[in-house]
C-alpha cells in the first residue's frame, strides 16, 4: 500500500495548525511535525531568541531549511509557521511535495488565540496587535491561497471535527 501524500498546514498564527495537524495525523495514521517546534528543538532556543539574535531574515533562513528537510519525510503532516509562505522557495517546495491545506481564520479568532501567547515575536512590542495582524493577513492571505489545495475556515469548530472535515475534503479530491 502506498503512503499517504504529505499534508502541509498553512495559515496565520492562532489558526490551530499544530492542534489540527496532530488530529489529522492521528486519523490518517501519519507522523506529525511542527516546523517551528523543530527549529526550537534543534537550536535549543525559542523563536523569539532567534529573532532577537538573527532578525527575521535569520529565522526565515532556518525555517526554510527546516521545512525543506521535514518535507522530505514520508507519510507526514506538517504544521508550518504563519510566515513560512513569505519565501517563494518554501511555497514551491510545499506545493511540489504534498497537499497544502490553508486554515483560514478570522482576525477576531487570531486576537483571541494569540492574546496570552509569549512566543509570537512578530507581535512582541506591537502597540496595536489588531493592526499588526490585519497587515500580516493582507500580506499573507494571497500567498496562502496561491498554494492551497483546499481552504478550510476554522470558525469555532473543535479541532477534532475540523480534522475529520479536512480528511473528508482531501479524500473527496482524491489526495488522501
Strand 98-104 and strand 76-79: pairing? unpaired
- Residue 81 labeled ligand binder: no
- Residue 14 labeled ligand binder: yes
Measure the CA–CA gap between 38 and 16, rounded to whole angstroms.
17
Element housing 18 (H / E): helix 17-28
Structural contact between residues 117 and 167, judged by C-beta atoms closer than 8 angstroms: no
- Residue 141 labeled ligand binder: no
- Residue 140 labeled ligand binder: yes
- Residue 164 labeled ligand binder: no
- Residue 41 labeled ligand binder: no
- Residue 169 labeled ligand binder: no
- Residue 76 labeled ligand binder: no
- Residue 16 labeled ligand binder: yes
Q: How far is CA 44 from CA 35, 40, 169, in A?
A: 14, 6, 37
- Residue 15 labeled ligand binder: yes
- Residue 17 labeled ligand binder: yes
Backbone angles phi, psi at 131, to 5 degrees: -65, -40
List the binding residues. 14-19, 36, 60, 82, 120, 140, 157
Residue list, annotated binding site for ATP? 14-19, 120, 157
Q: Give the annotated binding-site residues for substrate.
A: 36, 60, 82, 140
> Which parts are annotated binding residues for Mg(2+)?
18
Amino acid at each position: 500500500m502506498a503512503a499517504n501524500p504529505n499534508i502541509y498546514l498553512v495559515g496565520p498564527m492562532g489558526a490551530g495548525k499544530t492542534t489540527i495537524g496532530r488530529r489529522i495525523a492521528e486519523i490518517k495514521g501519519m507522523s506529525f511535525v511542527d516546523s517551528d517546534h523543530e527549529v526550537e528543538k534543534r537550536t535549543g532556543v525559542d523563536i523569539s531568541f532567534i529573532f532577537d539574535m538573527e532578525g527575521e531574515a535569520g529565522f526565515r533562513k532556518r525555517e526554510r531549511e527546516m521545512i525543506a528537510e521535514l518535507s522530505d519525510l514520508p507519510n507526514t503532516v506538517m504544521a508550518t509557521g504563519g510566515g513560512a509562505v513569505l519565501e517563494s522557495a518554501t511555497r514551491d517546495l510545499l506545493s511540489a511535495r504534498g497537499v497544502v491545506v490553508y486554515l483560514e481564520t478570522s482576525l477576531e479568532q487570531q486576537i483571541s488565540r494569540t492574546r496570552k501567547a509569549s512566543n509570537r515575536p512578530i507581535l512582541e512590542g506591537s502597540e496595536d496587535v489588531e493592526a499588526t495582524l490585519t497587515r500580516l493577513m493582507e500580506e499573507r492571505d494571497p500567498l496562502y491561497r496561491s498554494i492551497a489545495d483546499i481552504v478550510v475556515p476554522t470558525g469555532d469548530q473543535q479541532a477534532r471535527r475540523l480534522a475529520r472535515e479536512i480528511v473528508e475534503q482531501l479524500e473527496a479530491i482524491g489526495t488522501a
